[in-house]
Structure 1
Amino acid sequence: MASWLPEILFETNGQAPAPSKDFYQVLVTQQEVILRWWKISLRSEFRDARPGEFRESHQDFLDDSSLQAQVAIVFGRNILKYMINLCRGNFDFLERLPKSLLLHIIAHLDLEDIARLSQTSHTFEKMCNSEQLWEKVVESLCDTITPAMRELAKDRGWKQIFFTNKLQLQLQLRRRRQNRGDSNEDLPKLPL
């Protein structure tokens, strides 16, 4: 399983809480935790301050409460908790799958399962609400997707199209055609 993991397991960066303007980066690799910082100040005593870097093995990071406290101050308790889990070997393999594969898998779930999955993490929330997912869902349930329907999806979104009543959707498509002067185009065959 470890061969599935990239060298850098996690990376984030951010500014320290006000009033500090210092910038921090933290990386968790397969072997160590790396904390980098850049001192940002107009004060003359910090003008020559160079960027810094601190490296610790996973076990040393787990034992270093002062470094953990610094990470929590800059990045928050959730990031610290996630880093601790990575250092303990608790990897989230599902989120590491390619996005296209995850979208394909999610598109086959029931609506209730998609809703539950969207509540598990920020990554899955984005994926479960993405236009790519809802386009796949609509395509799998509709007999045909017309160009007019694709244009309507650009304006309204695939998720909105999915949850629109069949009659309302046909009415919206008919109005759209009338506004454009198209009259020959067939209405899409939507599932009941």
Structure 2
Amino acid sequence: MASLLGSTVFEIIGQGRAPSKDFFQLVITKTEVIWRSWKISLRTEFRGAAPGEMKESYNDFLHDAGLQNQVGVVFGLQTLEHCKALCKGHYNYLERLPNQLLLRILFYLSFRDIGRLSQTSKRFWKLSNSSELWEQTVRVRCDELTPDMEVLANAMGWRKIFFTFFHDQQRGSKAGPATDAVPSATALAQASATKAPE
């Protein structure tokens, strides 16, 4: 699983809260935390000043209350907690998998589980509503796909075609692992078509 981690585990860039106009970058690599700052000021003593940079090991960062406070002020407490978790070795490997592999996994989930997963993050919301997932679902599980329906699916969307023409057939089918515990079309449509999670 460690091979899923790139050289940069996490990176965020942002501007300090008013009245500060300074810019900050936080980078977490496999071995260290890097904090960079760029002073933005009209005062002559700060013109041409080089960016500041601080590098710390994970352990040093976890014990550096001052740097943690800066990260919390600039990027928020949620980002700070995420960074602390990374420094303790708590990685979310599922989020690091490529989309094509995640789509393959989604294909084997029940429709109810896909609807629930779509509510966990923006990425899973997009994947759960993606044309690739629903086209694969229709092509593999629906025997009665005609060329006219395929043209219609490309125009209207594969997900809409599935729930319009094939959903009722799939509810009674034992075609595969994704067909068990199928909710109504209305329930899934409401679950996965709601606003993407923040």
Map residues 23-172 of structure 1 onto 2, 5 A cutoff. Answer: 23-143=23-143, 145=145, 148-163=148-163, 165-166=164-165
Deviation at 1:48, TM superposition (A): 2.0
Deviations 1:55-91 (A, max 9, x none): 1100111111221121122222222111111100111
Deviations 1:113-166 (A, max 9, x none): 112222333332332233332332333333365565455445433333333x32
Question: Is the 1:24–1:38 contact (alpha carbons within 8 Å) kept by the matching residues of 2?
Answer: yes
1:44–1:5 CA distance, 2 compared to 1 (3 A): same
Higher relative contact order (CA closer than 8 Å, sequence separation 6+): 2
User: Hey, what does 2:7 align to over in structure 1?
Assistant: 7
Give the structure with higher Rg (CA): 1
Percent of aligned pairs with the same amino acid: 52
1:190–1:119 CA distance, 2 compared to 1 (3 A): closer
Question: Is the 1:142–1:190 contact (alpha carbons within 8 Å) kept by the matching residues of 2?
Answer: no
RMSD of equivalent CA atoms: 2.5
Q: Which runs of 5+ in 2 are unaligned?
A: 170-198
- Distance in 2 separating the partners of 1:51 and 1:57: 20
- Distance in 2 separating the partners of 1:148 and 1:44: 70
- Distance in 1 separating the partners of 2:18 and 2:119: 31
1:39–1:106 CA distance, 2 compared to 1 (3 A): same
User: Hey, what does 1:19 align to over in structure 2?
Assistant: 19
Question: Is the 1:143–1:190 contact (alpha carbons within 8 Å) kept by the matching residues of 2?
Answer: no
- Distance in 2 separating the partners of 1:85 and 1:109: 29
Structure 2 length-normalised TM: 0.73
Q: Which runs of 5+ in 1 are unaligned?
A: 167-188
Deviations 1:9-64 (A, max 9, x none): 11122222233332222111111011122223334332222212111100111111
- Distance in 2 separating the partners of 1:46 and 1:111: 58
- Distance in 2 separating the partners of 1:12 and 1:150: 42
1:141–1:18 CA distance, 2 compared to 1 (3 A): farther
Question: Is the 1:143–1:191 contact (alpha carbons within 8 Å) kept by the matching residues of 2?
Answer: no
Paired residue total: 169
1:45–1:157 CA distance, 2 compared to 1 (3 A): farther
Question: Is the 2:4–2:97 contact (alpha carbons within 8 Å) kept by the matching residues of 1?
Answer: no
